[in-house]
Amino acid sequence: MLSHPFRLAAIGLVALMAGCYADRPHEYAHERPDVRDTSPDDKGLQSKDVLEASDKVCMYLLQLPEFNQPTRQKIVVSNVENRTYNPNFNYDIFLQRLRANIGKYGRDRIMLIENKARVQHLRSDEIEGPSDDFGQGDGSQPIPPQSQNPDFSLYLVVSELPNQGNRYYLFNFDITNLHTREQIPLDPYEVKINN
C-alpha cells in the first residue's frame, strides 16, 4: 500500500497530466482555427470567403446544361482581372480553389485543360531535345491534337465599391465558349466587409 505522500504525488501527477491534456484541444484550436471561421483580429477578405465563393460557384456550374452532356467538356482556367482599389492583391486563390472543386466534384463531366503558356513552359523545362538558340522553334515540340483544345475558358473579374464604413466586393466568375464566343455568367459571389 502506498504511503500518504506518494498517494498525494500520484494524484497530483494524474491531475497535472489531465490538465495538460485538456489544454491541448484549446491550444490547437487557437493555433489552427477552422478555415470557415472569420477572425475578429483580421480585416478584409478571409479564408471563409474563398471557401464560400468556390463552393457556391462550383455547385452552380455543375448544374448548367452545358456541363451535363454525354461527353466531358474541356475547360481551361484562365486569369483574374483585378478591378479593385488594391491592384497588388492576388485573387488567384479564388480560382485555384474553384479549380480544385471542379476536379473533385465534376471530373465525370468536366476535363480541366492546362493553360497553353504553362504547358509550353513545362515542356521546355522537362522535355529534352535539340536546343533552339534563336527561339524560332525546331519542330521537335509536338502540337497538341485538336481534340485536346479547350471548349470553354473560365476567368474571374473582381470589382470593389469602397465606402466610409465598409467595402463591397463582387466576384464574377465567367465562362466563355471558345467556339461560339458565348459568355456564360455564373452565379456571382458578393460580400460586404467593414473597414
CA gap 156, 58 in Å, rounded: 13
Q: What is the pLDDT of residues 127-175, one digit of tens each?
A: 876 555 555 555 555 555 666 789 999 999 999 998 888 999 999 999 9
Supply the pLDDT for residue 146: 61
CB count within 10 Å of CB 167 equals: 19
**Distance (Å, rounded) from C-alpha 63 to C-alpha 77?**
18
In tens, the pLDDT along 50-90 reads 999 999 999 999 999 999 999 999 999 999 999 999 888 99
Checking if the pLDDT of 29 tops 90, the result is: no
Please give the Cα distance from 79 to 60 (Å, whole number). 20
- Confirm if 84 and 169 have CB atoms less than 8 A apart: yes
Structural domains of the chain ordered from first start? 40-126+147-194 (3.40.50.10610)
Please tell me the pTM assigned to this model: 0.72
